[in-house]
Structure 1
């Protein structure tokens, strides 16, 4: 398992909380807060784009 540095959880109103993490190789991770051992990984840019779309209301049904 990679050494992942997790940021503080992001909790939307009425939705699950999630966390973003990064490793020393520049990969990004996203997991439901409290379940960081089960996560998605992709490039940092791809996960950033996903989060920006969610925050913009384009994909709020995914979380």
Structure 2
């Protein structure tokens, strides 16, 4: 498995905890905390776009 540097877990209300990580090749990862052996992976640019879209409220409809 690739050497991934994981950030501290981000936990929302309830039990939803996620971790974001990066590797030395510029790939980014997101995983449910405790399941880092099964991450989703994409480019750093794709993860940055996802985070910016979430911050801008473009995913709010998924919460309702």
Question: TM-score, normalized by length of structure 1?
Answer: 0.81
Aligned to 1:5: 5
Which of the pair has more CA radius of gyration?
2
Deviation at residue 6 of structure 1 after TM alignment? 0.3
Runs of 4+ in 1 over 6 A off after TM superposition: none
Q: CA RMSD in A?
A: 1.8
Gaps of 5+ in 2: none
Deviation at residue 15 of structure 1 after TM alignment? 5.9
Aligned to 1:32: 32
Aligned to 2:56: 56
Question: TM-score, normalized by length of structure 2?
Answer: 0.80
Greater mean alpha carbon deviation, residues 53-62 or residues 30-39: 53-62
